[in-house]
Chains A and B, each alone.
Chain A
Amino acid sequence: MEKFTVLTGVAAPIAMPNISTDLIAPSHFPGKKPEEAIVMSFKDKLFANLRYFPDGTPKPDFVLDSPRYQGARILLTGENFGCGSSRETAVWSLQEAGIACVIAPSFGDIFHDNSFQNGFLPLRVPADDIDRLTKGLARTNASELTVDLEKRELRVSGMAPIAFDLPDNRRIPLMEGLDQLRFMLRSADDIAAYENRASTERPWSFAAAGG
């Protein structure tokens, strides 16, 4: 996994709460047949129902399609981002489109976990701070925001830095690019010991799949 330490990039505002993983990574594409949609790249399907009318014509006002936000790396959005379905394609779609961090007041639980699994940062920031950042960005011409994991702060030129909280057990694996499977496999002996003990205590819990 790539290391995530300091990210500077264009930050695009999508001021909408409750953006579900269905909306982020729809299984269908407006105006296309399922068999056409399934072979499309995740990137092309990102936010398709916000981006296109049901017949497949593009909506004129979708933020990521405006020239100002080309190449966006960061999204600023509303509460409960990534609620709903467990589909990890929601994270992969954002990543394929070049986005590495979503800043929101709160996140759907499974999306939040899936993000860290992929070295993607779902950053919880109070709504007031997001508001200040959005206003600060609207003032600058560059649209750029810096997410600094080392200093735990967000920076926009012309504004005082805004500190954020991110626990070390989330921050350090991101900064080191540490893969969770590798880490878990180090506990293989503990798992074997557990299996021995538990299969005596709760034999009915084991050998479930039958013949």
Chain B
Amino acid sequence: MIENIYILSIFTGVIIILVSLYFKKLANKASKATLEIIELNEKLKYDPYKFINEVFRHLKKIKIEDYSYEVVFGPKFERKKTTQKTGISKSFIGNDYSIYIEIVPKKFKWERRYIYLIILETLFLLLKIDILIKIKTVNETFSNIARLQTYIQHDIKNIAQFIQALSHNIQNVKTPEDEHIFIKYLKESSHAISLKANNIINMLEIKPEKGESMILLNEIKKYIDIRRALEDLAKFYNLRCKIKGNAFVYAEEGKVILIFDNLFKNIYDKSLQENIKCSIEIYEDNDSVIATILDTGSHIEDIQRIFEPFYTTKNAGLGIGLYQVKNLLVRMGGKIEAKNTEDGVRFNITMPKTISLNRIGDSPD
């Protein structure tokens, strides 16, 4: 009697081990297939069209005989089943897109049912994420292009209007006195014209941080008196600024001015809404020149994000200015940091004394 119980126990044990091994094999197969699908999606760079086309080749390995899909998100792509068999399906209909997927496994009962349900869920989720990424990328791209166009159009229209007025005025210069006033106004505008030209050119040259190298036209390098440049900008923007210290950098002037102009423009915009003062310290530190700009205005929300491209806290802002500043400084071998402090907002700008920007796409030395 006891012997029989032993045999029964051993038999039961063996059965349990075999069942466990079987389930382990199944689970392995399922997790391998799931991982393969995820990796394939990554390899295809989250392109929903390529993904849905290629993924079923992998699914054949786990005995999925047939499949169909219909995906609509602007473009529509679909595939009908080649057999009459019914499988398992999942669908979603949203405002911007809809997805329908059906897979037909060879065997679909008992424990296998759960494996195929997991595969279907994974497939559906990946496709949904790919479509959402695509929609978001397309929408953001169009929105950023529109914003960029608005900015460039604003400046270009002003330039066109300036030319209209200029040509009208030239024709009306008749006396030496007219000539004197005409030249006087042009001189008063020259700084602004040069800043605007610089801004437009740089706006057109905007590109990702790690984009392809771009050879720029050489601007003549010279020693730039940083204090004087900042005093000119403060005067231009009518800002109350205390400037301490001085230093020189040997660089293309337009680029250096553009960096500080962007920072001053932000302080000026803030000064239209709140009463602020600014103080600047300029000093040398070994081979670098450091400028610290502090404005007593309100703190910047999410300050760690302000150098991100197209990130802006302003209504209808473009979010390019500070990104350009950071890009230019990094390519010069310099850097910029921003901090909310008890006294206001502080920007620390570090630039090498000698700056080379001939190849603006080169990584910093």
* A and B together in one complex: no
Q: A residues touching B (Cβ–Cβ < 8 Å)?
A: none
